[in-house]
Each structure stands twice: as structure tokens, then as C-alpha cells.
């Protein structure tokens, strides 16, 4: 049994943080760390943003929870605000990205049943990550996430990512498909960015076959990739989009937004959440959303992300250990030629918090409020770290 009193679901590093300030974290021994992953894309406004902290304190002193038995003004205001920004019609609030994707999966299945399809299927992709609940891990395209939890939830058809022809073949041979669930960029899968025409091609296939196009923007949303949602750079609107992470800047809130027929699918009694959309989380998320938009942080993320990618290409482009440097806004990956999990510990010793995903990809998800000087420091420090590691 763990001496911590906790289930052994995590392998936490031997470090405890006491406070945060913007892109900086401070441990209980007073050491300072440059947070290059912002709580895995959660703290997009940095740690302890003054506006978020003020809203949180004021709302906590006024009202935290009532349940969804009653109207919640902040929930309705947040729903309207998100709809205004994204072009969607309606929103359901839960507590996490997994819950948001659960809601999307339920919309797809009910949408199919409403059309008379007895066993509706959803197309998902290899390399994806949609969460760790039973339905979302079944949708996930990573065997490591699924192993040991069989039997998985049925009704998912898997296809290679970034392969339109594979989706066309599924459409030709599977009349029970009702939807496609896909990430605009695969984050956990190693910052995999599809071809420019991939997502618009999916939109076309979905339209031709009466499928719902459902985008998982848990990691790409809330300004991280250069627009509020990544799809807004692609000239189309999905039927369903899910988000979480940066929406609450640290508070647990997820959202499933839908438009058209998908927005009308769930009726009273079909779905719910005890805590989801409570006054505390929604008031805070409203401040987060308004700050992202009023300070034009999506545009900043796009420009700063390009500066960072260019900086890494300058400093690491000639290194044989580096296979590829890629990014979309402030979602950045450096793919190496060999497994590099030990870089995380080496970075921490130098006051850097980074992440490794897909075994060989250094994943960087800095806060949208990171300055150019801080970004340059991150590029120089991470580049030197990789060079030193590769030389040993």
C-alpha cells in the first residue's frame, strides 16, 4: 500500500509546489521553476492570474453550488458567451474533458437512434486520446490506455489519423456510422498535425453521409492554437466540439458545445452532472474567456508559438538527435530519434518543467501570457538540455 494514503494511479515526482506566479512555480524549498507545460495546458493565463483570483475569491464568498435543479445565471452567461465566440448553438457543462467527450459520445448515439440506427458507430483514430473513463478510453487510440480494462465499450471504428481515404472506405462499408470524433491536433499522441485538407475533408465526408463531425478540442481550445478553437482557422463549423483544460485555468470545468440537430438531441433526463456548471466554476471561466478574448491572446499564441518553433529550429535544426520540430500556436513538439523520458527529470534539476509524450516527443504547452523574453529563455534552456543529453 502507498504510504501517501493515495491509490497508486500516479508516479509523482519528489517535488511539492507551494505557489505560482504567471509562468513560474516555486517549491517548498524556495526553488523557482519555469513552467513550460502550464499544468498540461490548463493554466493558459498562468498561475494565480490576478483577474481569475479576484473572481474566484468574490464568487466563493457569494455562492459556490446550488445544483442544476435551478437556473444558474453564470452558467447561462458562459454558455451564451461561448456560443457567441464559436458559432455554436448550445452547451453542456461537466467537470472535465473526459466528461465533455462522454457527452459528445452520448449525443452521437442518441442522434443515431433517433434516425432508426439500432447500433450506432463512431469513427475514431489511431493515436488519439479522449480521456480515461470507460467510454472515452474505448474511443482512445492508444492500447496502453485500454489494456486491462476490457471488455471495452463497443461501437467505435478505428482509422489511421490523417488518412481521408480510410474514412471514405469506412463510409462505403459501414451504414451504421453516425459520427466521427477526432482531435484537430493530436496532443497526447505526440503533437501530430494533420495535412491542411484533412479536417475540411472530414467535414465533407460527414456531410455526404449524414454523420456528425465532433472535434475534441480539450487541448487545442481556449486560445492555444491561434484562435479560440482550432477549427476557426479552417473555414467550417463542426457539429460538436468539446473543451476543458484552459477553460477554467485550474478550476474543474469541461464543456460540450453543439450546433444544429446535435444541439437539440439531448432532452431532459438524458444527461446530467451534479457539480457541472456550478456558479463558482462558471463565474471563473467567464473571467478566463473574457481575458483570453479582450487581451487577444489567441493571436499572441500564434505569433509566440511561431517565434518558439523558429527558435528551436535555429538551435536544434542541425542536431542528429532531432527528427522534427512542429507546432501549432503554443502546442509544440520536438520529436527525437530515441525515447527521452529521462529528460523530464534532468530538466527539473535545471529549473524547467517539461513533458514527454509518445515516448520520443518533448511536449511544450506554455501559458498564453508568457513573454517573448521568457519564451526565448525556454528555447535556449530546453535546446541546451537536449544537446547535453544527446552528447552523453
Question: What residues are annotated to the active site?
Answer: 129, 216, 245
- Please give the distance of CA 35 from its chain centroid, rounded to a whole number: 17
Contacts of residue 47, Cβ cutoff 8 Å, sequence gap at least 6: 19, 20, 21, 22, 23, 24, 25, 35, 250, 367
How far apart are the two ends of the chain, measured CA to CA in Å?
37
DSSP 246: G
Site of grid cell 465533407:
204
Strands (E), the chain: 17-21, 24-27, 32-35, 90-94, 121-125, 156-159, 177-182, 212-216, 240-243, 254-258, 322-328, 331-336, 352-353, 355-357, 361-364
Burial of 344 (0-12, 13-18, 19+ CB in 10 A): middle
| Cell numbers representing residue 242 in the block | 468539446
Contacts of residue 285, Cβ cutoff 8 Å, sequence gap at least 6: 78, 247, 248, 249, 251, 253
DSSP 203: H
Q: Taking the alpha carbons of 114, 110, 166, 231 in that order, is the dihedral positive or negative?
A: positive
| Cell numbers representing residue 64 in the block | 459556490
Quick one: which of 130, 132, 137, 105 has its CA closest to 120?
105
Q: What is the DSSP string of 351-378?
A: TEE-EEETTTEEEE---TT--HHHHHHH
| Cell numbers representing residue 324 in the block | 522534427
Amino acid at each position: 500500500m502507498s504510504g501517501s494514503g493515495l491509490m497508486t494511479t500516479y508516479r509523482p515526482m519528489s517535488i511539492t509546489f507551494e505557489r505560482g506566479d504567471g509562468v513560474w512555480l516555486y517549491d517548498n524549498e524556495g526553488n523557482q521553476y519555469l513552467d513550460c507545460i502550464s499544468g498540461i495546458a490548463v493554466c493558459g493565463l498562468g498561475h494565480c492570474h490576478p483577474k481569475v483570483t479576484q473572481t474566484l475569491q468574490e464568487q466563493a464568498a457569494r455562492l459556490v453550488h446550488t445544483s442544476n435543479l435551478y437556473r444558474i445565471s453564470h452558467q447561462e452567461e458562459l454558455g451564451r458567451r461561448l456560443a457567441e465566440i464559436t458559432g455554436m448553438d448550445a452547451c453542456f457543462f461537466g467537470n472535465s474533458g473526459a466528461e465533455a467527450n462522454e457527452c459528445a459520445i452520448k449525443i452521437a448515439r442518441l442522434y443515431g437512434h433517433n434516425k432508426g440506427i439500432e447500433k450506432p458507430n463512431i469513427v475514431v483514430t489511431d493515436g488519439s486520446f479522449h480521456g480515461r473513463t470507460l467510454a472515452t478510453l474505448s474511443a482512445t487510440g492508444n492500447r496502453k490506455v485500454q489494456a486491462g480494462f476490457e471488455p471495452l465499450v463497443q461501437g467505435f471504428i478505428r482509422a489511421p489519423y490523417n488518412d481521408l481515404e480510410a474514412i471514405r472506405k469506412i463510409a462505403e462499408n459501414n451504414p451504421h456510422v453516425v459520427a466521427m470524433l477526432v482531435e484537430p491536433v493530436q496532443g497526447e499522441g505526440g503533437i501530430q498535425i494533420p495535412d491542411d485538407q484533412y479536417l475540411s475533408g472530414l467535414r465533407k465526408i460527414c456531410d455526404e453521409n449524414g454523420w456528425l463531425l465532433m472535434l475534441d478540442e480539450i487541448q487545442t481550445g481556449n486560445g492555444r492554437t491561434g484562435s479560440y478553437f482550432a477549427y476557426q482557422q479552417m473555414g467550417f463549423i463542426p457539429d460538436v466540439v468539446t473543451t476543458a483544460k484552459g477553460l477554467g485555468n485550474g478550476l474543474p470545468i469541461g464543456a460540450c458545445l453543439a450546433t444544429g440537430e446535435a444541439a437539440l438531441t439531448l432532452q431532459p433526463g438524458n444527461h446530467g452532472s451534479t457539480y457541472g456548471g456550478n456558479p463558482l466554476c462558471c463565474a471563473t471561466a467567464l473571467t478566463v474567456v473574457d481575458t483570453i478574448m479582450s487581451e487577444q491572446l489567441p493571436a499572441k499564441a500564434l505569433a509566440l508559438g511561431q517565434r518558439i518553433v523558429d527558435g528551436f529550429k535555429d538551435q536544434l535544426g542541425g542536431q542528429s538527435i532531432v527528427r522534427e520540430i512542429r507546432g501549432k500556436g503554443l502546442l509544440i513538439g520536438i520529436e527525437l530519434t530515441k525515447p527521452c523520458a529521462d529528460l523530464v527529470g534532468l530538466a527539473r534539476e535545471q529549473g524547467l518543467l517539461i513533458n514527454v509524450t509518445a515516448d520520443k516527443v518533448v511536449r511544450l504547452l506554455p501559458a498564453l501570457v508568457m513573454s517573448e523574453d521568457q519564451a526565448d529563455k525556454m528555447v535556449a534552456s530546453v535546446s541546451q538540455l537536449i544537446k547535453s543529453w544527446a552528447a552523453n
